[in-house]
Amino acid sequence: MQTSLKKRLEIIIEMPAVPRLEGVLEKAGVKGWTVLPAKSGRGANGSWSREGQITSAGRMVMVLVIIDPAVLDTVLERVYALLERQIGIVMVSDVQVVRAERF
């Protein structure tokens, strides 16, 4: 089976910022993404957990995006412009996909 090289972005942000991030991704021409709940973690400001939170204000999620390497820099610049004022982590890695036309 043939695979194609793409870039995988994993963006961890607070749930209330997701609509703004989705707008950025859409304007950058990203064809799709998936939002996954983040249960707990630890970072520069210590440990956190979504357990016991009543609203989505402090909830963290991971937005998973697969894109063509040719648009990586454009997407990262736009995502960074949003995240420089937000809590967020962006990870980039190489990934092999089947059905490359979907990305």
For the stretch 13-32, pLDDT in tens is 999 999 999 999 999 999 99
* pLDDT above 90 for 76: yes
Predicted pLDDT at 1: 86
Domain CATH code at residue 53: 3.30.70.120
For the stretch 44-67, pLDDT in tens is 777 767 666 665 556 889 999 999
* pLDDT above 80 for 40: no
HEC assignment per residue over the chain:
CCCEEEEEEEEEEEHHHHHHHHHHHHHCCCCCCEEEECCEEEECCEEEECCCCCCCCCCEEEEEEEECHHHHHHHHHHHHHHHCCCCEEEEEEEEEECCHHHC
Domain region containing 75: 4-102
Please state the domain count of the chain.
Answer: 1
- Give the pTM: 0.83
